[in-house]
């Protein structure tokens, strides 16, 4: 059984007793954003979704994670004269806070998007304080016990650490190493300490967390800076590996998706969708989107993408030409602000003030009002979870939706 299948099997077993899961960014290691084991929230149930509860977060929040009867979020912001990174766990059913953990510093705070790695919740933080520490105070990964938020372990090794990607056997992250100062791909074991191998990444240094690598079918794809880079998951037999290939995108990638079994890896670059041959790194086909897209979702044989005021789907295998047009599209009243997610034949997309749901033919299912603009979504355990950002320094929010009880 492959790594992705083992992860899905484990999640499926957990969902029987724990009601559902969304364990890492983009749901799976390939970031398809499709919860393939969710069955409760089909189009009929999604049509009756209503807000169940909401909770305030700090100003900037990452993607919600769901495991069993809890939702986990890491956010960052300020409290008085201090900057804070904050991890919280909530009861999925009613929003009761289960635990909270905070890290304080001075200057500017960056947080790492968390992911589950086995039974642990991995995150990290970076406090930039150039007055006292030229390189700031950093930690990553920080390994938390999801039961109570206690710290199981941490290491101070890098800045600009992406969300961890659990491949089933190994954990993959992009990072900016402090010593030596370099952009790298780090592949480690699940203890959080042992580095199996490091890959060299092209591009300019940045302390900002990059997009997490996408992993499927034994390959790692890093869409970061202005490049898409591929590595073998097994490494190259030595401690430091060069990439299999590197594609110069010309501008920054905003999302990288590697669907298992597909010959292509998908990247949003500027205002375009690119399908890249995963074996050679050459562009197979492109699709002009007209605006920047915050992300993609892959459902069956289709790629769903929202850009500007358009939500569309494209054939996973292309159209037989160098430039492809959508097979279906709909207009949305305001610009898409969050990558789409899917479950049980329903695709959700966030835009200013709302989340809209469609079936896979892009027929409307429901429109849900939310405060501010959605930044990330997750579907698990028969519920939809939405992170929203608000203007004017107001806190970000976590909003949970559930079907109305008959």
Average pLDDT per consecutive 10 residues, the chain (406 residues; last block may be shorter): 44 45 96 95 96 94 95 86 86 97 64 87 69 51 91 76 90 81 86 82 71 94 90 96 95 89 94 97 96 95 97 97 98 94 97 96 97 96 95 86 88
Q: What is the largest CA-CA distance in the chain?
A: 60
Do 368 and 353 contact (CB within 8 A), yes or no?
no
SS (H, E, C) 240-268: EECCCEEEECCCCEEEEECCCCCCEEEEE
Strand order in the sheet with 302-307: 296-299, 302-307, 310-315, 328-331
184 closest CA partner among 172, 198, 195, 197 = 198
Domains and CATH numbers, the chain: 3-403 (2.130.10.10)
Residue 43 DSSP SS3? helix
Question: What is the rounded CA–CA span in Å between residue 297 and residue 100?
Answer: 31
Q: What is the pLDDT of residue 127?
A: 57
Q: What is the pLDDT of residue 224?
A: 79
Strands (E), 168-282: 171-177, 182-188, 195-200, 214-216, 219-224, 227-232, 240-241, 245-248, 253-257, 264-269, 272-277
Q: What is the pLDDT of residue 180?
A: 72
Q: What is the pLDDT of residue 194?
A: 80
Q: What is the pLDDT of residue 355?
A: 97
Q: What is the pLDDT of residue 135?
A: 45
CA quadruple 364, 369, 375, 379: dihedral sign: negative
Bridge partners of residue 88, in order along the sequence: 73, 100
Bridge partners of residue 208, in order along the sequence: none
Question: What is the rounded CA–CA span in Å between residue 125 and residue 207?
Answer: 11
Residues with Cβ within 8 Å of 16's Cβ and at least 6 positions away in sequence, in order, are: none
Q: What is the pLDDT of residue 4?
A: 43
Label the pairing between strands 34-35 and 336-343.
parallel
Q: What is the pLDDT of residue 225?
A: 77
Label the pairing between strands 108-117 and 82-91.
unpaired
């Amino acid at each position: 059984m492959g790594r992705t299948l083992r992860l899905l099997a484990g999640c499926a077993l957990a969902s029987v007793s724990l009601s559902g899961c969304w364990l890492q960014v983009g749901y799976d290691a390939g970031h398809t954003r499709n919860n393939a084991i969710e069955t409760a929230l089909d189009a009929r149930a999604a049509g009756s979704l209503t807000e169940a509860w909401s909770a305030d977060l700090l100003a900037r929040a990452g993607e919600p994670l769901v495991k069993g009867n809890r939702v986990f979020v890491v956010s960052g912001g300020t409290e008085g004269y201090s900057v804070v990174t904050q991890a919280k766990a909530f009861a999925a059913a009613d929003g009761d806070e289960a635990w909270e953990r905070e890290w304080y510093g001075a200057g500017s705070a960056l947080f790492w998007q968390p992911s589950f790695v086995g039974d642990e919740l991995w995150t990290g933080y970076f406090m930039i304080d150039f007055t006292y520490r030229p390189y700031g105070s950093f930690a990553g990964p920080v390994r938390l016990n999801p039961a109570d938020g206690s710290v199981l372990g941490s290491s101070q090794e890098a800045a600009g650490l992406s969300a961890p990607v659990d491949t089933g056997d190994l954990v993959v992250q992009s990072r900016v190493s402090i010593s030596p100062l370099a952009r790298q791909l780090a592949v480690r074991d699940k203890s959080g300490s042992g580095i199996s191998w490091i890959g060299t990444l092209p591009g300019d240094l940045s302390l900002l967390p990059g997009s997490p690598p996408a992993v499927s079918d034994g390959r790692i794809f890093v869409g970061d800076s202005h490049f898409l880079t591929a590595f073998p998951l097994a490494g190259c037999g030595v401690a430091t590996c060069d990439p299999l290939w590197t594609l110069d995108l010309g501008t920054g990638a905003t999302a990288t998706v590697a669907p298992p079994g597909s010959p292509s890896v998908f990247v949003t670059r500027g205002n375009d969708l690119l399908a890249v041959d995963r074996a050679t790194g050459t562009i197979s086909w492109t699709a002009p989107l007209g605006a920047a897209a915050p992300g993609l979702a892959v459902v069956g044989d289709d790629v769903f993408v929202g850009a500007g005021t358009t939500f569309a789907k494209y054939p996973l295998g292309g159209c037989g030409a160098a430039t492809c047009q959508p097979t279906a599209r709909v207009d949305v009243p305001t610009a898409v602000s969050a990558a789409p997610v899917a479950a049980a034949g329903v695709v959700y997309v966030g835009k200013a003030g709302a989340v809209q749901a469609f079936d896979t033919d892009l027929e409307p299912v429901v429109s849900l009002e939310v405060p501010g603009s959605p930044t990330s979504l997750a579907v698990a355990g028969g519920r939809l979870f939405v992170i929203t950002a608000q203007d004017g320094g107001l806190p970000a929010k976590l909003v949970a939706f559930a079907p109305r009880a008959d």
